[in-house]
A = this chain, B = another copy of it.
Amino acid sequence: MAAVTIECCPPIARQRLNESEAAELAVLLKAVADPVRLRLLSMIGSHTGGEICVCDLTGAFDLTAPTISHHLKVLRTAGLIDGERRGTWVYYRIIPQQVARLGALFTPLAETASP
């Protein structure tokens, strides 16, 4: 995987966010501020090959398939994951640029400042 391009928003410890940046990032953060969605995101992102069949996601939770589908849709709407139907199943992968925006936002000044 090549280095990703991070759009929008310096780390919170370096520069004030303006109102529109904060509003947009809050939507993204609400999408991940849920234990099931965090676990889904980590299962998708850490799976060998970078993608995972929805059939392997539903079995890992004590939740119904429609509930898992709802959470996947929230992540997809936020642009954090993408899915591709191949035959019977949908295969999900992380969109690293969007995940990296959150990483960059909370990476403190000490780790990102120029020397």
Contacts and interface: CB of A to CB of B under 8 A. Distances in A.
B110 A102 contact: no
A101 B4 CA distance: 20
A25 B106 CA distance: 13
B25 A110 contact: no
A46 B4 contact: no
A107 B110 contact: no
B43 A22 contact: no
| Copies of this chain, tallied across the complex | 2
Interface residues of A, number: 46
Given A22-B35, A103-B107, A17 B1 contact: no
Contacts of A94: 12-13, 108
Contacts of A34: 26
Interface string A11-54: 11111111100110110011011111011011101100000000
